[in-house]
Amino acid sequence: MRCMKHAAAVVLILSFSYWVGCGEANSQQSWLEPLGTSADWQTQDWVDSQGIRGVRLDKGRLALDAHFTGQHQNYSKGEVYLDLRYVPGIDGKAPLDFRNRTVTVQVHVPAGFVGWASAPNGVQVFVKDREGRCQYSKWRNVEYQGKHTVALGPTAGGIAGGYTGAGFDPGEIILIGVKLAIGSGSSATYDGPLSVEGVTISPGIALSVPPPLPTSAPIPVLWPQDKVEVKSDGFYLNGAKWFVVGGNWRAIEYGQNFGATAWFPTGNGVSKHPGFIRASLADLRRSGVKVLRVGLLDDGRTMFDRDGRVTGYNDTFRTDVKKFLDLVVNAGLRVEFTLVDFLLAGKRENIDDVVVRGRSAVMADEARTEEFIDRFLEPFLKEFGHHPAVIGFDIVNEPEWVVAKGDGGGWEDVTDIRTKAITPVPGQEFGSFVRACIETIRAHAPGKLVTVGVSCTHVDLVKGFDIDYYALHHYPWMGDLRDLAPLVPEGKPWVLEEYPTHGSAPSISGHLDLVSELGGSGALLWNLSPGIDSATFRYEDRNKVLLEIRTWVDGHSAGVYAGTTHKSSTNGGPSAHKPPARKLRPKGPAAVGSPHGDVPFGARAYSPDGRMFAREIAPVNRGMIGVIDAVTGEQLHAIDTDQHPQGNFANDLKGLAWSPNSELIAVMYHHDGGGHISIVRVSTGEEAQSIDIDDWYHDVTFSSDGRKIQAGGKSFSLK
C-alpha cells in the first residue's frame, strides 16, 4: 500500500443505499451486506501489491480473484480498500475520527491459501489518514481452511506485529482496507477465489439524511434522441424554449476523472467508481439539474508529458469517458466538457512524480497545438463527439488568467504565486488555439455547442470567436451582475456558467431569478461537489441546496421549458416532454413469468414505451438482470438483484415485469421460506423498494396505474 502524502488521493469509492437510520449510528455497522450493486470496491494497483486482480460484491460478501506468488515483486501480496470520502452519507464528513473505533474484518480462505507451515500466509486490516499515512494491524497467520477474523483499533502509538507510518493520525481517517499476502520467505503460490465475509466499524458512523427530493425528475426529462440548438434569443430543446439549470461538478477528483498518472498506474477515474457516480447523478437528476459542466483534461496531468506532448489518450482514458457518458445519459442529464483549465498554463510543479500545470506550450506553441488537435481532440471527437450525453464543449476555463491585459486578459491580476503562469500566453497564439479547437469540433461533432467560459469582466476576450453562446462567470468581487450583463455583445445568448453558492448573496434561487430577469438563458452553480473552495456550499448544506434547486424549477416550470408536458405518475414516472423520435411498439409482453419452473433464460420483458427490454443475463441464477436497448441491442444496465437480507441463496428467477411508465422493473425470485420482489429504478440501477413474500409465486405484474405490484393473486402497494 502506498503510504505517502499525495497518495492520499487514492480513491476507492463505495456507494450504497442509506442503511442505518439516517442521522444515527448503529453500535456496529456493516460495510458489505447493505451495499447492493453500487459498491465500488477496488484492488490495489501499486507495484508490490498486485496479488488481487479483481473484486466484486457477491451475495453479501466480497469475492476476490487472487493470483499470489511468494517472493514475487508484484504478486506476493494484495489489497482491497474503501475511501470513506466517497461514501454517500459520509463523504462530506471524512476524514473521520477512529480513535475510539474498531475495524473488524472476517476473511474466508480455502485450504490452498494456507501456505507453508513454516511461513504461513496472512491477513491484516489497515487504515489510512488524510495525509496518506497508514496503520496496519498485527499480522494474522492463516493456518487452516475457513474463517479468520482480524481487528484494528487505530492509535497514534505503534501496533505490535503491525505497521504505523510516521506521524499517523487516527483522528483523520479516510480509508479502510484488507491485505492478504504470502508468508515472508515463502515461495507458495495460490490462484483462485478468496472472500471477505464481513467488514464492520464499531461504533458505527452516523449517516447524513438523504436529500428530501421527489422520486421523479422535473421537466424537461432528457432523452438520447433530443435535439438541442441555440438561437439568438436562447436555448431550444426539440424546438421549444429552454432555460438551462445546471452546475459545475468536480465528480471524483480534479485532473483525475479520466485517464492515469504515476499516482494511479491503472487509473483512478470514473470507470473505477461507477457506483458513486451513479448515485450522485441520481440525486442531481431529482434536484432538477439538467446540465453538468465537467473538466475533461483540467491541468493536463493525465494527458500530456511535462513538455505538453500528448501521451495519455489511451484505453484507460477512453474507458473512463465512455463509462461517464453512459452514466450521464442514462440519468437523463447532459454534460458540457471543458477541454482544459487555465491552470494548464500555470506554474509547473512535480508532486510525487506527477507533473501538474506547466504546459502552456499546448496553447502557446503552434506545433504543440497541432499535435493536441491531431493526437487528441480529433480522435476524441470521432469516438465520443456524437454521444447523446454531450451537449457541447467549453474550450478553456477562464483563459483571461493566462492572457495579459494588453491582449484582453488579466494575467497581471493573479495573486496566487504558486500556480500563476510564469509568462502569459500571447493573445495571438491563444486565439489560434481556440479557433483550431472550434474548427475541429465543428468538423467532427456537428450539432454540439461551443463556447469559452470567461469572467463577466473579460467577455471581450472571446467575442471574436465562432462560439454559440457567451458563458459568463460571476463572483461578487467583479461588481453587480446587473451592471455587467448589459455589456455582453448582442446577437448571441448568454449563460451564467459559474456563480458562487457560499459566502455571498444572492442565494441559488436568487441567482436563477436574476439571470432570468436579465435575459440570460441559464445558470450553472459553482460547485456541486461541496466544500471544494470558499465559493462552494458546505457539505452540511447539500440537501438544502438540492432542494432549493428543485423548488425553484418546480415553481418556474413554464419558464424553464415551453414544450409539451404531462403530469408525473405517482410512482415516480417522468414529468417531461415527449421525445421527438417515433413511438416504438413493444415487440413482446411487459412481463414474463415461470409457469413451469423458472423464467426461461433469455426470456424478454419489454418496456411499454418500446425502447428497452429486460432479461436474465449470465451468470445464470445469480440475480443478474440486463436492460437492453430494443433498437440497437446495446446493454444499458446490468442490475444485481440478489441482495436479500437473509443471506446467500440461489436466485431462481420467477417473474420479471415493467411498470406502465417504463421507469421501474419488478424482479421476483424464490428462496428458502418464500420469495422476494425487488423494485428497481431503471435510470439508476438502484432498488426503489423491497417486498418480502411468504409464498412461492410464478407471475408478477404492475397494476395499470403503477401503484401496486400483483403476484400470485395478491396485491402489494408501492411506496
The pLDDT tens digits for 323-343 are 999 999 888 899 999 999 999
Containing 667, the helix (H) or strand (E) segment is: strand 664-671
Give, in words, the CATH class of 6-202. mainly beta
Three cell numbers at 275? Answer: 457506483
Beta bridge partners of 163: 136
186-210 pLDDT, tens digit per residue, is 999 999 999 999 889 999 888 788 8
User: CA-CA distance, 619 to 56, in Å (whole number)?
Assistant: 13
3-state DSSP of 179-221 = EEECCCCCCCEEEEEEEEEEEEEECCCCCCCCCCCCCCCCCCC
Residue that is written with C-alpha cell 438502484 in the block: 686
Higher pLDDT, 248 or 651: 248
Least confident among 262-276, 383-397, 673-687: 673-687
User: CA-CA distance, 592 to 581, in Å (whole number)?
Assistant: 27
541-552 pLDDT, tens digit per residue, is 999 999 999 999
CATH 3.20.20.80 domain locations along the chain: 248-279+290-468
CATH 2.60.120.260 domain locations along the chain: 6-202
Q: How many CA atoms lie within 13 A of 90 on its CB side?
A: 29
pLDDT at res. 584: 65
CATH 2.130.10.10 domain locations along the chain: 591-717
267-295 pLDDT, tens digit per residue, is 989 998 888 888 899 899 999 999 999 99
Higher pLDDT, 20 or 454: 454
pTM to 2 decimal places: 0.79
Whether the predicted pLDDT of 221 surpasses 60: yes
Q: Among the CATH numbers 3.30.70.360, 2.60.40.10, 3.40.50.970, 3.20.20.80, which is that of 248-279+290-468?
A: 3.20.20.80
User: CA-CA distance, 208 to 710, in Å (whole number)?
Assistant: 34
Please report which confidence band the pLDDT of residue 642 belongs to, taking 50, 70 and 90 as the band edges. Answer: low
How many CB atoms are located within 10 Å of the residue 649 CB? 17
Instruction: Starting at the earlier edge strand, list the strands of the sheet with 664-671.
Output: 591-592, 652-658, 664-671, 674-681, 687-693
Give, in words, the CATH class of 591-717. mainly beta
Whether the predicted pLDDT of 144 surpasses 90: yes
Residue that is written with C-alpha cell 460484491 in the block: 57
Instruction: Give the mean model confidence (pLDDT) for residues 466-483.
Output: 97
For residue 346, give Cα distances in angstroms to 13, 359, 454, 472, 597.
30, 7, 17, 21, 65
